[in-house]
Structure 1
Amino acid sequence: MMGFGNKATRPAISDFERLRLEAAGDSPAQLDKVIKDLAKTHTHQQIAKELGVTRQAVTLRLSTAGQSTKGRKSVLWSVLPWDISEHPQKQYFYNQASFTGLRAFISERQGEAVSARRAVELKRFKELHLAEGEVVHFDVHNGFVYRPREASDRGLVVRWPSDKPLPDPDLLRLILLVDPRSRPQ
């Protein structure tokens, strides 16, 4: 019979526990701080790759530390004016084609790789909606819907609520119809 210490019989360590061990002596609070700091500028996937764990382990660690688990979406919610985190239909709204297209658009603007599925959503978003003069609008009853572009939309791909301040220029470019960085000087 093989002993408990033998790798062949030892229970696999969870990614969550591996994150704790990766800290190599850091307290859980120190580890949480490191991961939270990384989450400000990195996706959960990038953090996971750096630490040698799964993305799910990073998300779990952040959620147990009381940190938003939006990962890459944290930039998304920093640039968008709507907070639907408490809306009873938020999951339905998150899966609407208008929102997934917008999410893919912002991901592309951030320079992130877009999966094949997201590429289809992005193409549909650009060719069927943006090119046809539509913007994404949030309606509390219907979720993310397309509306005809108006002069008040100021070149954005979303209808910005008049009572909300616009994001800073680095974030604003993510939702402009034409990215100022792509214009010839």
Structure 2
Amino acid sequence: MPDSGLTDALLIKLFHQGQTDNEIASAYYITKQAVSKRRLKLGLERKPVSQQVNAGLAHRWTVWSPQEGTGHHNRHSAKALRAWLRWRLGDTSLSKQQLHLAQAWAEGLRERGEVLCYNPDLEEGWYYRPRRESDGRRVIDWPEDIPFPDEKFKRALDLPPAPHKESV
């Protein structure tokens, strides 16, 4: 890309600003493949939202995943939590079933006034407990002494405010 005007420093800046390869390619009249190849050469990887979710949850828990067989990561609650977070973080690749799972799961948490917890020593691993004031609107328990990966992930853990019901 010698004549495109896109320097390594500029590509790094645009990448960190969240521009897609397509957007960068269009702006500099080059192919998406050229941008992708150069970006990878610079060590800049695009991470799907599901990887963000897994990395974010790893700040809170190490979920039991055996070499063979089914671990806690495949339980219904874990799948629902991951689908919820992917949806809240803007993942447009969720299937209709995953989106329904996420929304129904979160609505159930709201209705029951619960949060999701994890204990690797329990057979099922995942369990629910009553929501405490300190939980705010979070869907999982997150101790105050554990930092969140970032503000966007922290916000994704929150249920939206409850809809106001008008009295008749």
TM-score, structure 1 length as denominator?
Answer: 0.54
Give the partner amino acid of 1:123: Q
Aligned-pair Cα RMSD in Å: 2.8
CA distance in 1, matches of 2:103, 2:137: 19
| Contact 1:79 1:172 (C-alpha < 8 Å) held by counterparts | no
Query: CA deviation digits over 1:82-132, x for unaligned, max 9?
Result: 3426x3559421111111111111111122222022123113312222332
Identity %: 26
Query: CA deviation digits over 1:113-163, x for unaligned, max 9?
Result: 220221231133122223321111111223222221111213211100343
The one of 171, 174, 185 equivalent to 2:153 is 171
Matches within 5 A, 1:45-84: 72-80=49-57, 81-84=59-62
How many residue pairs end up in the alignment? 121
The reply on whether 1:37 has 2:44 as its aligned counterpart is yes
Query: CA deviation digits over 1:57-98, x for unaligned, max 9?
Result: xxxxxxxxxxxxxxx33211343233426x355942111111
CA distance in 1, matches of 2:142, 2:127: 13
Give the partner amino acid of 2:157: I
| Contact 1:136 1:145 (C-alpha < 8 Å) held by counterparts | yes
Pair 1:146–1:177, CA change in 2 (3 A): same
> Counterpart of 1:67?
none
CA distance in 2, matches of 1:138, 1:102: 12
